[in-house]
């Protein structure tokens, strides 16, 4: 493993409340892009800052390859400038009075003039701004400025790049495109990176590995497929994707376990827990919007309460006669009116269940 965090905790000086990061462990292979996602205040920035060396560890250990960057029990704390880690922040923080070229060359003072301008040109090429070297930051769009900031961070060849919500000041369409571009640029330069966002689409577009954080804890560190289809806990299940929990009962049958729900029985599901996984088989089943199919031939009917247009599809909020609420993702040419009853059918490939919520 390349970057490895082991039981990392951070407590801000004077903070009487809980630590800002609590016992976070994860590993990121060289060349991979990791993403940290979670609600505001969950500790994402703090985790980046402690990796950069800008905060002290209260517990745990951080290493890159064989080199220990910080080790709380042994009192090791490598200075930020000795870590060879680059950072890109939300505000581009370019020097307004310096040209793009000088901004990007800022961390390269140790290089001879020719070597410096060659490296600057190289990274400007990489971010697609080869022609902008002589411009001033204010002559560039927000997206271009953020790419200059990226070029500046890449120029000294950091062994790890940390990016803290770099696109959150930009508008949505631009963000989606930049997220794709960022991935291409990082892969082209074989840069290992850790990217913080609160936007799921961005996390999925950029990350090889995604970590979901809540209240200082890293709840799950996995690839996007596993996060979506095998969420480790309720919070992750609700945080990633659209869905609801429905009461269900897992019972034994000749052909294997069957999941009884208000929408009918689910059979043949992959990765289904056994009936004795829960008391009496009773559990809460995660039903994602893409687990529910619109099918007028189905005997299960539900009334449309709400609909959200998402371009190629709608997310319908539906209510069954039994009172249960589900979400359904349907192609947007299936345009039904609110209040209408439609037929639905569950099509669940991955059965995700949790112990029934007491609340
Ligand atoms: P995020 O980036 O996920 O929004 P932060 O890492 O900024 O979260 O903050 C995590 C927690 O630490 C929050 O409760 C926040 O109020 C607290 N915090 C952040 N920075 C400081 C600081 N410099 N001093 C004290 N508490 C801080
Ligand atoms: Mg933050």
**For residues 334-349, b (16+ Cβ closer than 10 Å) or e, as one string?**
eeeeeeeebebbbebe
Secondary structure (3-state) at 166: coil
Residue with the smallest CA separation from ligand 1 atom 23 is 12
Q: Could you read off the pLDDT of 74-117 as tens digits, one per residue?
A: 999 999 999 999 999 887 789 999 999 999 999 899 999 999 99
Q: Could you read off the pLDDT of 13-63 as tens digits, one per residue?
A: 876 768 999 999 999 999 999 999 999 999 999 999 999 999 999 999 999
* Claim to verify: residue 181 and residue 288 sit in the same structural domain: no
- Domain holding 263, by residue range, is 242-355
Residue with the smallest CA separation from ligand 1 atom 16 is 41
Can you tell me the distance from the alpha carbon of 37 to that of 211, in angstroms, rounded to the nearest whole number? 6
Residue with the smallest CA separation from ligand 1 atom 21 is 12
Q: Could you read off the pLDDT of 154-198 as tens digits, one per residue?
A: 999 999 999 999 988 888 888 888 899 999 999 999 999 999 998
What confidence tier does 357 reach under pLDDT thresholds 50, 70, 90? confident
Q: Which of 220, 235, 250 is the last residue of a domain?
A: 235
Which of 100, 139, 136, 98 minimizes the C-alpha distance to 120?
A: 100
Which has the higher per-residue pLDDT, 349 or 8? Answer: 8
Q: Could you read off the pLDDT of 262-274 as tens digits, one per residue?
A: 999 998 776 788 8
Q: Which of 193, 219, 235 is the last residue of a domain?
A: 235
CA–centroid distance, 30 to ligand 2, in Å, is: 24
The pTM (predicted TM-score) of the whole model is: 0.90
CA–centroid distance, 45 to ligand 2, in Å, is: 4
Can you tell me the distance from the alpha carbon of 320 to that of 262, in angstroms, rounded to the nearest whole number? 8
CA–centroid distance, 9 to ligand 1, in Å, is: 13
What is the enclosing helix (H) or strand (E) of 187? helix 172-188
Ligand nearest to the CA of 166: 2
* Claim to verify: residue 144 and residue 287 sit in the same structural domain: no
Q: If you average pLDDT over every residue of the chain, what do you get?
A: 93
* Claim to verify: residue 171 and residue 264 sit in the same structural domain: no
Secondary structure (3-state) at 275: helix
pLDDT given for residue 243 in this prediction: 87
Can you tell me the distance from the alpha carbon of 315 to that of 330, in angstroms, rounded to the nearest whole number? 7
**For residues 54-67, b (16+ Cβ closer than 10 Å) or e, as one string?**
ebebbbbbbbbeee
């Amino acid at each position: 493993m390349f970057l490895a965090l082991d039981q990392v905790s951070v407590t801000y000086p004077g903070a009487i409340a809980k630590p800002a990061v609590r016992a976070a462990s994860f590993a990121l292979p060289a060349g991979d892009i990791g993403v940290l996602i979670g609600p505001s205040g969950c500790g994402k920035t703090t985790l980046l800052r402690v990796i950069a060396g800008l905060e002290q560890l209260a517990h745990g250990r951080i290493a890159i390859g064989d080199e220990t960057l910080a080790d709380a029990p042994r009192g090791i704390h490598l200075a930020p400038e000795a870590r060879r880690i680059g950072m890109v922040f939300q505000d581009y923080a370019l020097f307004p009075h310096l040209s793009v070229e000088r901004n990007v060359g800022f961390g390269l003072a140790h290089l001879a003039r020719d070597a410096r301008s060659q490296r600057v040109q190289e990274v400007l090429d990489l971010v697609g701004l080869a022609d902008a070297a002589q411009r001033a930051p204010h002559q560039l769009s927000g997206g271009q400025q953020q790419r200059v900031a990226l070029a500046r961070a890449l120029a000294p060849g950091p062994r790890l790049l940390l990016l803290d919500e770099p696109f959150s000041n930009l508008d949505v369409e631009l963000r989606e495109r930049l997220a794709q571009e960022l991935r291409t640029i990082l892969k082209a330069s074989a840069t290992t990176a850790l990217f913080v966002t609160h936007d799921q689409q961005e996390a999925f577009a950029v990350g090889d590995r995604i970590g979901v954080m809540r209240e200082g804890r890293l709840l799950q560190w996995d690839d996007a497929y596993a996060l979506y289809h095998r969420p480790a806990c309720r919070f992750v299940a609700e945080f990633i994707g659209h869905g609801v929990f429905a009461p269900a009962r897992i019972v034994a049958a000749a052909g294997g376990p069957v999941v009884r729900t208000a929408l009918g029985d689910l059979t043949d599901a992959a990765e289904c827990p056994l009936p004795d996984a829960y008391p009496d088989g009773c559990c809460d089943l995660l039903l994602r919007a893409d687990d529910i199919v619109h099918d007028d031939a189905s005997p299960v009917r539900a009334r449309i309460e709400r609909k959200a247009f998402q371009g190629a599809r709608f997310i319908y909020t539906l209510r069954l006669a039994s009172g249960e609420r589900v979400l359904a993702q349907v192609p947007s040419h299936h345009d039904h009116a609110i209040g209408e009853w439609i037929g639905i059918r569950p099509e669940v490939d991955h059965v995700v269940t949790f112990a029934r919520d007491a609340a």
